[in-house]
């Protein structure tokens, strides 16, 4: 849809709540009672509201699944308002550098990052609610680590619950961001409202008196959120081909019993060298000797009973054959 359009400017506008029929190129699922247009006094303009179940209420572009958007710019920007305690999700259809279709599914439902060869589930960590947000998604950051790079953005699906004002793409990094899409001299993923003012055309900006936040989503900020909440899991298995980049999210295998083809063995730390190795081996021998010599009272009692029963059996056998008992003779000598 946008493949033949000029995309060399600062932004490419995809959706706006203004106009007679803003969703003419969108596929709406859920009915007019759940997806409707309304005037918002705060932003002094029209917005689209998605309400209801996040599984059934959605708006999708392009309307025909066989078509593709062909968007080339790096950043996807959404101006949205998300209510407190409500779910919100975005699904993006990506074409990578090898012309393979991939999906990015960003959602507040996800609690951890996971990826396969075809899609990735990305948690929307620390999403600001009950306030208008400029949500800036770095497509190259996610696709270069999870897949095989970014070529085009071909599909966008928004799921309830949210209010959306505008959707557009940006070509360059916002003015207060560094080359990898992270805030300069800031440790949080949230920037001040003026962060994108120099890069976003005036027609796409919020009114000057609107309170809003700018949220930048990329892999580095997701790692920061992982350090705070521990959200990344060992389920994240990116493409392992030679052209794919490793994400390094695999959790190390715990030391314990390892099951192999020939049986099971206990894994441990790597062998040491020099005097420490010899000292460790001597300590291990001592501990093994100590364990072999120490027995529980029940085991000692069992050994004593077994020895007495064996002596009684030998005595009966010798007496039945009329032979003098060596045990009795030994007892007299003692």
| Better pLDDT: 208 or 187 | 208
| Better pLDDT: 136 or 252 | 136
pLDDT tier at 277, thresholds 50, 70, 90: very low
Residue 218: pLDDT above 80? Answer: yes
pLDDT tier at 81, thresholds 50, 70, 90: very high
Work out the average pLDDT over 291-312: 50
Work out the average pLDDT over 143-163: 96
Q: What is the reported pTM?
A: 0.66
Percentage of residues of the chain with pLDDT beyond 90 = 46
Exposure b/e, 75-112, CB count within 10 A at least 16 = b: bbbbbbbbeeeebbbbbbbbbbeeeeebbbbbbbebeb
Residue 179: pLDDT above 60? Answer: no
Work out the average pLDDT over 49-58: 93
Work out the average pLDDT over 105-130: 92
pLDDT tier at 287, thresholds 50, 70, 90: very low
**How far apart are alpha carbons 332 and 334 in whole angstroms?**
5
Residue 172: pLDDT above 90? Answer: no
Percentage of residues of the chain with pLDDT beyond 70 = 60
Work out the average pLDDT over 167-180: 66
**How far apart are alpha carbons 157 and 60 in whole angstroms?**
4
Is the preceding omega at residue 62 within 30 degrees of 0, hence cis?
yes
pLDDT tier at 153, thresholds 50, 70, 90: very high
**What is the structure's pLDDT at 166?**
96
Q: Going by C-beta distance under 8 Å and a sequence separation of 6 or more, which residues neighbour residue 92? A: 76, 103, 104, 105, 106, 137, 139, 153, 155, 156, 157
Q: Which tokens is 215 given?
A: 């949220």
**Measured at the alpha carbon of residue 188, what is the angle toward residues 184 and 194, in degrees to the nearest 5?**
60
Work out the average pLDDT over 151-177: 87
**What is the structure's pLDDT at 258?**
46
Q: Going by C-beta distance under 8 Å and a sequence separation of 6 or more, which residues neighbour residue 297? A: none
**What is the structure's pLDDT at 250?**
41
């Amino acid at each position: 849809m946008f493949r033949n359009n000029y995309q060399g400017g600062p932004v490419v506008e995809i959706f706006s709540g203004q106009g007679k029929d803003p969703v003419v190129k969108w596929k709406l699922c859920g009915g007019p009672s759940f997806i409707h247009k309304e005037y918002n006094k705060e932003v002094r303009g029209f917005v689209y509201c998605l309400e209801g179940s996040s599984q059934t209420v959605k708006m999708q572009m392009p309307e025909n699944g066989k078509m593709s958007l062909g968007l080339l710019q790096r950043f996807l920007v959404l101006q949205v308002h998300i209510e407190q305690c409500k779910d919100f999700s975005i699904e993006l259809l990506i074409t990578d550098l090898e012309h393979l279709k991939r999906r990015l599914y960003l959602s507040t439902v996800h609690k951890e990052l996971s990826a396969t060869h075809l899609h990735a589930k990305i948690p929307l960590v620390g999403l600001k609610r009950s306030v208008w947000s400029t949500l800036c998604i770095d497509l190259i950051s996610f696709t270069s680590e999870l897949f095989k790079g970014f070529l085009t953005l071909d599909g966008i699906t928004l799921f309830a619950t949210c209010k959306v004002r505008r959707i557009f793409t940006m070509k360059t990094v916002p003015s207060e961001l560094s080359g990898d899409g992270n805030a300069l001299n800031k440790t949080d993923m949230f920037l001040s409202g003026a962060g994108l003012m120099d890069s976003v055309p005036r027609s796409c900006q919020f009114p000057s008196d609107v309170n809003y936040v700018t949220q930048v989503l990329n892999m580095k900020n997701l790692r920061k959120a992982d350090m705070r909440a521990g959200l990344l899991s060992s389920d994240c298995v990116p493409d392992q081909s030679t052209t794919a980049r490793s994400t390094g999210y695999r959790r190390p295998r715990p030391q314990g019993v390892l099951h192999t083809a020939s049986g099971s063995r206990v894994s441990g730390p790597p062998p040491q060298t020099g005097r420490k190795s010899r000292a460790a081996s001597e300590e291990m021998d001592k501990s093994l000797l100590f364990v072999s010599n120490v027995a529980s009272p029940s085991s000692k009692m069992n050994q004593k009973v077994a020895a007495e029963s064996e002596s009684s059996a030998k005595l009966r056998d010798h007496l039945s054959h009329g032979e003098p008992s060596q045990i009795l003779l030994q007892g007299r000598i003692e």
